[in-house]
Amino acid sequence: MPIEFEKVSFVYEPKSPFRHDALRDIELLIEEGVTTAIVGKTGSGKSTLIQHMNALLNPTSGRVKVGDFVNSSVKKERSKDLFSLRKKVGMVFQFPEYQLFEDTVEKDVAFGPRNFGASKEEALKMAHEALLRVGLDESFFTRSPFQLSGGEKRKAAIAGVLATKPSILVLDEPTSGLDPASAEETMLLFEEIKKEGTTLILVTHDMDLVLRHADKVVVMDEGKVVKVLPPEELFQTDLSDYSLDMPKVYAFARKLQERGWQLDMKDVRDVPGLAKAIKNGRRAS
């Protein structure tokens, strides 16, 4: 299911002195099956953009199409079936563990399916499946979410979104606050879910994550989409205008290049890849 933004603008508090143009004339196609990263500094419009994808916000002008669902500035054009849209577009917000609220883990995860009309039994079954999927076994089902560690809470919160089996998954800083191994584990889980046909949209400041997982990067600045390109092309350009960091491998490679090294960075996505590129690289003498 593709997502299409057609001339979308969004203004917060349009008729007040606090008026803020958060999105300006966005034209953007997010293709099915392509992992798309949305990057840009804080305040560039990333969050506002993703909130249009499941109609948490309606555009001030223009139109967003998610499959055959239409989210438009014109009330008459808007599709009515918000339930099925929100079932299709799952959102894992930043630090989702702060949103756990039920007294047991299974009830918390079952909340989504229940909300979308599943019976109590069905919802629990879906919750159990999702929990096993994220690596929380039966011993966790009836525990209080508040007794879990930070990493376990994160998994429970992700299970809550997976339980409704979304076809698009929007991930807002999915690994922040996780230890390196849990971060890796979490991304592996999402990669698996992607293989089963779910489209991933990644919102992040972590350029290492972008380099390793994204097929395409959307760069935002002051409410506009300023670039759409593959990560390896993005990181060859000057990013300081958008206050984006370089992935660590690129930052190090650049320092070597400044000292006369020639490196082929085409396939470099991680540390072992950079080590190979250095081994095969040359120093101009």
Partner 1 sequence: MSLAIKAEHISFSYAKDGPRTLDDVSFEIKEGEYVALIGHNGSGKSTLARILAGLISELDPNASLTVFGMEYDKEHSAEIHSKIGLVFQNPDNQFVGATVRDDIAFGLENRAIDPSLMDAIILESAASVGMEEYLDQAPENLSGGQKQRVALAGVLALRPSLLILDEATSMLDPKGKREILALVRKMRKENPSLTVLSITHDVEEAVESDRVLVLAGGKLILEGKGEEVFSHRELLEENHLESPFVHELSLALREEGVDVEPTLSEEGLLEELCR
Which of 167, 172, 154 is CA-nearest to residue 198?
167
- For partner 1, the closer of residues 1 and 171 by Cβ is 171
Given candidates 112, 113, 128, 152, which one binds partner 1 under the rule CB under 8 A? 152
Other beta carbons within 10 Å of 256: 16
Buried b or exposed e, range 182-206, using 16+ CB within 10 angstroms: bbebbbebbeebbeeebbbbbbbbb
Contact status: 142 vs partner 1 (CB under 8 A): no
In the block, which residue shows the tokens 């209080």?
144
Q: Is 221 in the site for partner 1 (CB under 8 A)?
A: no
Part in contact with partner 1 (CB under 8 A); list of ranges 64-72, 121-129, 230-238, 273-281: 273-281
Taking the C-alpha atoms of residue 140 and residue 263, their distance in angstroms, rounded to an integer, is 48
| Residue 115 interacts with partner 1 (CB under 8 A): yes or no | no
Give yes or no for residue 95 binding partner 1 (CB under 8 A).
Answer: yes
* Shortest distance in whole angstroms from residue 218 CB to partner 1: 17
Determine, following the binding rule CB under 8 A, whether residue 255 of this chain makes contact with partner 1: yes
> What x-and-dash track marks residues 20-59 binding partner 1 by CB under 8 A?
---------------------xxx----------------
Count of residues interacting with partner 1 (CB under 8 A): 37
Sheet hosting strand 36-39, strand order edge to edge: 89-92, 168-172, 199-203, 36-39, 216-221, 224-229
Task: State the Cα–Cα distance between residues 163 and 105, nearest whole angstrom.
Answer: 13
Number of Cβ atoms within 10 Å of the Cβ of 117:
10
Interface positions with partner 1 (CB under 8 A):
41-43, 94-95, 98, 147, 149-152, 154, 176-182, 205, 243, 245, 248, 252, 255-256, 259-261, 271-272, 274-276, 278-279, 283
